[in-house]
Structure 1
Amino acid sequence: MDANLRFWRAEGQSFFQRFLLWTDVLDPLLLLKSSDEIRRTRLLLQNSGKTLSEPLQNDQSSVHPDTDKIIPVLFRPPAFLPISLPLVIASSLQLRAKETFFCQFVFHTYTTGFTLLNGNGTAKAEEYSLQQKQIFYGLGAISYAACIGALPLVFMNRYMLNSSLTQLVVRKLLPAPLLGLMSAFTVAVVRSPELENGIEVMDRNGKVVGLSQKAAEKAVKETALSRAALFGTTFFLPDVLMYFVERAKFAKTPRALALVKMLVITSVLAGMLPVSLSMFPQCGEIKRADLEPEIVSSTEETELFYNRGI
Structure 2
Amino acid sequence: MDANLRFWRAEGQSFFQRFLLWADVLDPLLLLKSADEIRTTRLLIQNSGKTLNEPIQNDEVQAKQTFFCQFVLHTYTTGFTLFNGNGTAKAEEYSVQQKQVVCGLGAISYAACIGAFPLFFMNRYTLKNSLMQLVVRKLLPAPLLGLMSAFTVAVVRSPEFENGIEVMDRNGKVVGVSQKAGEKAVKETALSRAVLFGTAFFLPAVITYFLERKKFAKTPRALASVRMFAFTSVLAGMLPVSLSMFPQCGEIKRADLEPEILSSTEETELFYNRGI
- TM-score (normalizing by structure 1): 0.77
CA–CA distance in structure 2, aligned partners of residues 130 and 155 of structure 1: 37
CA–CA distance in structure 1, aligned partners of residues 218 and 126 of structure 2: 30
Question: Unaligned regions of 5+ residues in structure 2, if any?
Answer: 42-58
**Residue 23 in structure 1 maps to residue 28 in structure 2:** no
**Residue 237 in structure 1 maps to residue 203 in structure 2:** yes
**Which AA in structure 2 matches 1:149?**
G
CA–CA distance in structure 2, aligned partners of residues 247 and 159 of structure 1: 24
Whether contact under 8 Å (1:183, 1:231) holds in the other structure is yes
DSSP-derived class of the 1:123 partner: coil
Aligned pair count?
Answer: 252
2:127 alignment partner, one of 138, 161, 171: 161
**Which AA in structure 1 matches 2:10?**
A
Whether contact under 8 Å (1:234, 1:269) holds in the other structure is yes
CA–CA distance in structure 2, aligned partners of residues 228 and 219 of structure 1: 14
2:95 alignment partner, one of 129, 140, 144: 129
Alignment of structure 1 residues 5-84 onto 2, 5 Å = 5-27=5-27, 81=31
2:268 alignment partner, one of 302, 305, 310: 302
**Residue 181 in structure 1 maps to residue 147 in structure 2:** yes
1:25 CA displacement = 2.1
Change (3 A) 1:196 1:115: same
DSSP-derived class of the 1:237 partner: helix
**Residue of structure 2 equivalent to 1:112:** 78
**Residue of structure 1 equivalent to 2:158:** 192
Whether contact under 8 Å (1:156, 1:162) holds in the other structure is no
**Which AA in structure 2 matches 1:24?**
D
1:209 alignment partner, one of 175, 180, 204: 175
Whether contact under 8 Å (2:186, 2:274) holds in the other structure is yes
1:121 CA displacement = 1.1
Quote the RMSD (CA, aligned, Å): 2.1
1:11 CA displacement = 1.0
1:223 CA displacement = 0.2
Structure number with higher relative contact order (C-alpha < 8 Å, ≥ 6 residues apart): 2
DSSP-derived class of the 2:101 partner: helix
**Which AA in structure 2 matches 1:298?**
S
1:247 CA displacement = 4.4
**Residue 152 in structure 1 maps to residue 96 in structure 2:** no
CA–CA distance in structure 2, aligned partners of residues 186 and 242 of structure 1: 28
CA–CA distance in structure 1, aligned partners of residues 64 and 222 of structure 2: 26
Identity %: 85
**Residue of structure 2 equivalent to 1:140:** 106
**Which AA in structure 2 matches 1:21?**
L
Change (3 A) 1:160 1:250: closer
CA–CA distance in structure 1, aligned partners of residues 13 and 244 of structure 2: 10
**Residue of structure 1 equivalent to 2:259:** 293
1:237 CA displacement = 0.8
Whether contact under 8 Å (1:251, 1:257) holds in the other structure is yes
Whether contact under 8 Å (1:15, 1:278) holds in the other structure is yes
CA–CA distance in structure 1, aligned partners of residues 257 and 206 of structure 2: 43
Question: Unaligned regions of 5+ residues in structure 1, if any?
Answer: 30-77
4+ residue runs over 4 A deviation: none
CA–CA distance in structure 1, aligned partners of residues 76 and 257 of structure 2: 33
CA–CA distance in structure 2, aligned partners of residues 269 and 161 of structure 1: 31
**Which AA in structure 1 matches 2:250?**
G
CA–CA distance in structure 2, aligned partners of residues 155 and 247 of structure 1: 24
**Which AA in structure 2 matches 1:20?**
L
Change (3 A) 1:243 1:150: closer
Change (3 A) 1:136 1:281: same
CA–CA distance in structure 1, aligned partners of residues 138 and 28 of structure 2: 31
Whether contact under 8 Å (1:123, 1:193) holds in the other structure is no
